[in-house]
Each structure stands twice: as C-alpha cells, then as structure tokens.
Chain A
Amino acid sequence: MALTNVLRRRKPFLAPPTFWLLSPAVVFLVLWTQVPLVLTLYYSFQRFVLVNPDLRGFVGFGNYLSLVTDPAFWVSLERTLVLVLSSLGVTLVFGLALGLLFFQRFPGRAWMRTLAISPFFVMPVVSALIWKNMLMHPVYGLLSWLFRALGLPPVDWLAQYPMLSIVAMVAWQWIPFATLLVLTGLQSLPWDVLEAARIDGANPAQEFRYIVLPHLARTLSVVAMLESIFFLSLFAEIYTATSGGPGLATTTLPYLIFLKAFAEYRIGVAAAGAIFAVILANLVALFLLRFIGRNLRAEAIG
C-alpha cells in the first residue's frame, strides 16, 4: 500500500510524453477528416464548377439558394427520410424478434445465429447485385419464379417498387446488426426481477412488456441512433441497384450530392448539399455522443 502510494505520487515525474504519443493519431485524423470538412464549408460559399474553373469567387449563400430552389433537393431529402425511417423500423422489429429468439436455448442455436448474422459481412455492392439480379429480376429472378409458382403476376421490383426494394436490401444487411446488439443487451437482463415476476404469476407477454422491453430500451435507442447515422450515408446499394432511379425515386441526399459533384461537376452546390447532410447526421450524432460520453465518464470514475 505504502509502495503504491509512493509510486502514485511519483507518477508525474515518470509520466511519459503523452503529447507525442497522441499527436500522430490526432494530426492524422485532423488532416483526413476535419480539413476536408472545413474545405467543404469553404467551397459551399464559392462559385466553383469543375468544367469552368476560371469562374470562381465568393457567392455568399448562392449555392444554398440554388439547392433549396431545386425540387430534386427536396425530393432527395424526403427519399432519405423514407429510406432511413423504413429501414430503421424493419431492422428494429426483426432484430428484436431474432435477438429474443437466439437468446433462448435450443439445439443448434450457435451455428444458426452465425448463419443469420452473415448478411452483415457481405459487401454492400455484392448484396445489391444478388438482390437486384438473382432475386428481383422480373423474369429470371427467384422471386418472379416464386410468384409464378403461386399463380401471382410477376413483379418488376426495382421498377415498380424501387424504394421498397432498396429497403429490403438494407434491412437484410442490417437486421443482423440489430440482432447482435439486442443479444448483447439481453446479456445483462435482471434475472432476479424476472424470477420474482414469474413467482408472482406474470405470463411471458407481461414479462416481455414490463421487464424485457424496458431493459432493452437503452439498447434499442442506441441501435436506432447508430443505424440512422449509417443509413443517412447509404450509397453503394443505390449506386449499384438503381442509380437513384427510376426518375428520382431512390435518389437520396448522398446520391444527389454525388450526382451534383461527379455528374454535373458543380462543386459549390454539392458542397452546400454536403453541409446539409452533415447537419442532418449531427442531429443524431449529438445524442449518441452524449450517450457514449456518459458511459465513458461513469467508467472513468467508477
């Protein structure tokens, strides 16, 4: 005890150069993430068209103005919200159901769980191709075969229900993520409370409603926040499966910014759109960071 006290007191003298240990990582992160962000903000106030680089200069809120007067921007904003909210709803419901299922004990549980979470590890480009071609192809796709077998008219999924198709792909990839998190959350289930409730004669539905669900509220809200942040940036699925179409049906904000920057070469307008995207993501990220920060501080003290 005395010895550790001595060591504690001497710590400042022995303390390593924290600054030099931290700064490589910090500088690297600043260069690759913060500098581009600041530059984007700067470009968003510039007239800047790549095909006509001589025409540059400060335009104030001109880019923002041309963005908000563009109907495509509002469509993309609405499409983004539809995509995020529907994918969120589907993954939360199925993730909760599967999490509860794989929390039970039954033969073969471990490898079944492993198979069920596999879609999360498939690269989004491949997922989109599998769904677009092999499952949703209007003539040769498996779903079309299934519909024919059931005597139903075949559906051209990506043409008739483009957003629904994208949501299906996204949900397929992210249900495993929600399932994994729910499983982790269930690990700390208060068994004594559950036991007491059972002795008091609570049925499984009541157990779920009054004990399990409140216990999972924290987990589910973290899932919702994390997924919102990821879903706001979905790109590969849309690029691969629909290219934003038909029309603007699946043109979300990231895809619109991509088009403005790399199809129309309007850097200024794209940058203004990017600032909107950052604000949108930050609305969620602030809550999530507060959550993470509270955990960190609690652990630093306890």
Chain B
Amino acid sequence: MKRLRPWLLSLVGFLASFLLFFPILWMFLTAFKREEDAFSFQPILLFTPTLQSIAEAWTRSDYFLHVQNSLIASLGSTALALILAIPAAYAMAFHPGPRTTTLLLWMISTKMMPPVGAVVAVYLIYRSLGWLDNIWGLTLLYAAINLPVVVWTIYAYFREIPAEILEAARVDGAGVKEEILRVLLPVAVPSLASAALLSIILAWNEAFWSLILTSAQAAPLAVYVASFKTAEGLFWAKMSAASLFAVLPVMVMGWVAQRQLVSGLTFGAVK
C-alpha cells in the first residue's frame, strides 16, 4: 500500500489534469482538422492533420492586423507600465514615508474597482478625443489597468534588496538615476521579467475594454475571436485555428510565470 500510493496519486493527478486540459487539447486538435471533420456527429479522434484551416485563418487579410494590435496593446502597455512603475516602486521601497503604505493600498484598490464603474465615462472621453477604435488609446488604458500589479511586483522585490547596495553606490557619488539604472535594475531583472510577463498575459487576454472601445481597425485578437460567436462560430476548424495563436503564446508564458503570478495577483495576501 505504501509503495502503491505514489502511483495511485499519479493516476488521480493524471485524470484531473487531463480533464482540465482536455478542452484546450480538443481545440488544438480541431485546428488541424478539415472543417467537415471538425463539425461531425461523432467526434473524430483519428484524422490526417492538415494545415488547411490554419492557413485559411492566417491568410485572411485582417488576421495579422489583429495580431499586430494585440502585440502593440500588450507589449506597449507593459513597457509604459514598467517605465512608470520602476521609479515609483524605487521610491516606495527605499525611501518610505509615513504615507507609503496608504499610497500603495490606494494603487491596489484601483485594480479592485469594477471596470463597469468607469466604462461609460472612458467611452465618452475617448469618443470626444477621437480615440475610439484606436489601438494607442487601448494601450494607454491597459497600462493604467495593469500598473498596480506591476508596481506591486517590483516593489515586493525591491524591498528584499538590502539598502546597503544603494548606499555604497551613493557614497561613490551616484545620483538617483544611476542608482536605479546601474545598480538596481541589473539585480532586479527577474522581478521585472515576471512583472512584464504578468502584465502581457493580462493585457493579451483582456476582453471587456477591447470589445467596447475597438471595432474594425484597432480590434485585438480577443475581439476578432469573439466575432466567431455568431454564425461564423459553426466553422469550428477555422475558429480553433484562429484561437490557436491567441492562446498558445500566453499559455506558455503562464507556465513560466505560474509562481510569480500568485504574488502579483494577490498583492502578497497569500504567502
């Protein structure tokens, strides 16, 4: 019994992970089917894989526009969030004042506000600025949405760095800029990477704001894929092929960042 236990657990673990992963696997498989095999009365497990559906999805003239929009929105917002977050996290971690905790809590609280609380106003502001269906407008918004997570992740890491490292640099006559750029950032690469990964994943998968603020020109992949909710949704192979690229890259990022994800999304409430 004692020796059997790990293998029994393995079996249970396999069943659980298989059940949870199955819908994703099924979508991946469907992406390599022909349309008539995908939409069949009996599920077809053995089939000759074809790249036909993927080729069809990718050669649609606007597919790469949506890929490009997703890339701009997720990478651009992450870059902006990092630029804003690094000085703020530095100030809070190494030069805390009496109101630092309150400030940090306020930042975190903006992440807890429901998006519907702001949607009407943001929509009207963007409309009057001419930013509707504009990918840069969406990018700025994503940067604001993910800023608290990025600040928190970097701050939590900075706090672990002994202040002596900075003091040594300061004695050598380094200014704030040198302190951050030459001393702090090289040490903080892991935390910057995990903050960036988290922010990219969140921005890439976001759907509420992109559905409301974009249409044809600035629609990221999430909005494009959502268009399959109508009659086009019956083309399962094409739908899966279009979803493949929308899912796979961020899923791999998620696998890499699974540990940092907990800290970033719970703001240190679970340890």
Contacts and interface: CB of A to CB of B under 8 A. Distances in A.
A243 B230 CA distance: 11
Interface in B142-197: 143-145, 147-148, 151, 159, 164, 167, 170-171, 175-176, 179
Contacts of A240: 226, 229
A292 B264 CA distance: 12
B110 A29 contact: yes
Contacts of B42: 145
Interface residues on B, range: 35 or more
B14 A112 contact: yes
Contact of A125 (B6, B117, B151, B222): B222
B7 A106 contact: yes
Interface string B33-75: 0000001111100000000000000000000000000000000
Given A36-B122, A116-B16, A253-B116, A129 B39 contact: no
A254 B270 contact: no
A297 interface: yes
Contacts of A188: 271
B267 A175 contact: no
Contacts of A125: 207, 222-223, 225-226
Contacts of B205: 121-124
Given A21-B88, A292-B269, A105 B6 contact: yes
Nearest to B27: A130
Contact of A267 (B9, B113, B124): B124
A226 to B, nearest CB: 6
A70 to B, nearest CB: 16
Interface string B113-124: 111111111111
Contacts of B247: 121-123, 126
B222 A236 contact: yes
A129 B101 contact: no
A108 B11 CA distance: 10
Contact of B26 (A20, A124, A130): A130
B239 interface: yes
Contact of B95 (A16, A131, A275, A281): A16
Contacts of A218: 270
Looking at B100, B118, B222, B250, the one whose CB has the most chain A CB atoms below 10 A away is B118
Contacts of A232: 114
A53 to B, nearest CB: 11
Contacts of B254: 117-118, 120-121
Contacts of A126: 27, 225, 243, 246-247
Interface string A255-293: 001100110000100110111011011101100110111
B239 A222 contact: no
B108 interface: yes
A208 B96 CA distance: 41
A112 B13 contact: yes
A254 B211 CA distance: 13
B24 A122 contact: yes
Contacts of B9: 101, 104, 106
A291 B43 contact: no
Contacts of A181: 262, 266, 270
Interface string A1-41: 00010010000001111101110111011011111110110
Nearest to B255: A114
B64 to A, nearest CB: 18
Contacts of A128: 229
A5 to B, nearest CB: 12
B12 interface: yes
A115 interface: yes
Contacts of A133: 233-234, 236, 239
Contacts of B1: none
A99 to B, nearest CB: 11
Looking at A18, A188, A219, A282, the one whose CB has the most chain B CB atoms below 10 A away is A18
In order of increasing CB-CB distance, the 8 nearest A-B pairs are: A121-B254, A32-B144, A236-B207, A36-B118, A36-B121, A39-B121, A106-B9, A123-B205
5 contacts: A26-B107, A36-B119, A105-B6, A123-B207, A258-B212
